[in-house]
Structure 1
Amino acid sequence: MLYLYIKIFHIFSFVSWMVMLFYLPRLFVYHTEHKGNKGFCDVVKIQQKKLFNFIGYPAMICTLLSGLAMIALEPTLLKGSGWLHAKILIVVLLVAYHFNLYRYMIALREDRDMHTGRFFRILNEFPSIALIIITILVILKPF
């Protein structure tokens, strides 16, 4: 029963983390496309910081810890579960993406990022693709 409660927490944490991964690059687009409006950019900088620090980072930590807890409770999941290994790889990529977003956020805060709104729109597609693949892996368990 504990496993199921942890799984519920894992899903809630993952959804919260994905919200940040979807929305933060959108804030980067707004920030980049309105660089001339200092007041607007100041507000967006605050939103970026709060979204990352108060939602994204804690949600990522909770997602990772609850995922590890589920594996610790059911270590047999790792045996013969290629789908889980693939999911873990995608999660590692999402963590790298998460910290890459942090780099961009700091650069934008210091007014030294030179990327375009189009760049951030394209970058914003990665979490969508990752979510689709993870959903397929978890539900279908294809290998």
Structure 2
Amino acid sequence: MLWVKALHIVFVTSWFAGLFYLPRIYVNLAMVPPGSVAERERLLLMSRKLYRFMTLLAVPAIGLGLWLWLGYGIGRGPGNGWLHAKLLIVLLLIAYHAWCGRLLAQSQRGEPMHSHRWFRWFNEVPVLLLLAAVMLVVVKPF
């Protein structure tokens, strides 16, 4: 199980790297001046490739997390409320990941984007979710 746990940590860390960086690309995309087609296309290409790559990282991260959950029997019995809270965070991360994909699709269709300030705030969401998840797993407050 230690190998599974180690791989889970590696894939989660890698997935988060994408969750941290993709919205930063969106900040730059929102700041592209009208008429800068080459710059816009380059940022969209980067976004597409990163989104595809981070999706490939998310699948094993979630799969290995499920393996740990089922293998250890975590969550059964009293004192495991922390896990239920962490599972909620995982669901929120999956929703955030999907939202990133939706924003990318809208950008590719040329639909109006949010402002660069909005994307700067949007970029903070995974930081807060990571902080909460780590605190729940390490401290197990309830």
| TM-score bracket relative to the smaller structure | over 0.9
Paired AA for residue 47 in structure 1: M
Q: TM-score, normalised by structure 2?
A: 0.94
Q: Is the 8 A contact 1:104 1:113 kept in 2?
A: no
TM alignment of 1:1-143, pairs within 5 A: 3-36=1-34, 37-54=36-53, 56-75=54-73, 77-79=74-76, 80=78, 81-143=80-142
The residue identity in structure 2 corresponding to 1:59 is: L
Q: Secondary structure at the match of 1:90?
A: helix
1:82–1:106: structure 2 CA closer, same or farther, 3 Å change rule? same
Question: What one-letter code is carried by the residue in structure 2 that aligns with 1:103?
Answer: R
Q: CA offsets, 1:22-57, max 9 Å, x none?
A: 111110010110142111111111100110102x10
For the residues of structure 1 that align with 2:16 and 2:92, how far apart are their CA atoms? 13
Percent of matched pairs sharing the same residue: 34
TM-score by length of 1: 0.94
Amino acid at match of 2:125: F
Moved more, 31-40 or 102-111: 31-40
Which runs of no fewer than 5 residues in structure 1 stay unpaired?
A: none
**Structure 1: 4+ residue segments shifted above 4 A:** none
SS at match of 2:46: helix
Any idea what SS the aligned residue of 1:113 has? coil
Unaligned runs of 5+ in 2: none
How much does 1:71 deviate? 1.4
Distance in 1, Cα, partners of 2:65 & 2:4: 8
Mapped partners of 1:26, 1:106: distance in 2: 16
Tell me, in whole angstroms, the C-alpha distance in 2 between the residues paired with 1:107 and 1:113: 8
Across the two proteins, how many residue pairs are aligned to each other? 139
Structure with greater helix percent:
1
Q: Which amino acid aligns with 1:41?
A: R
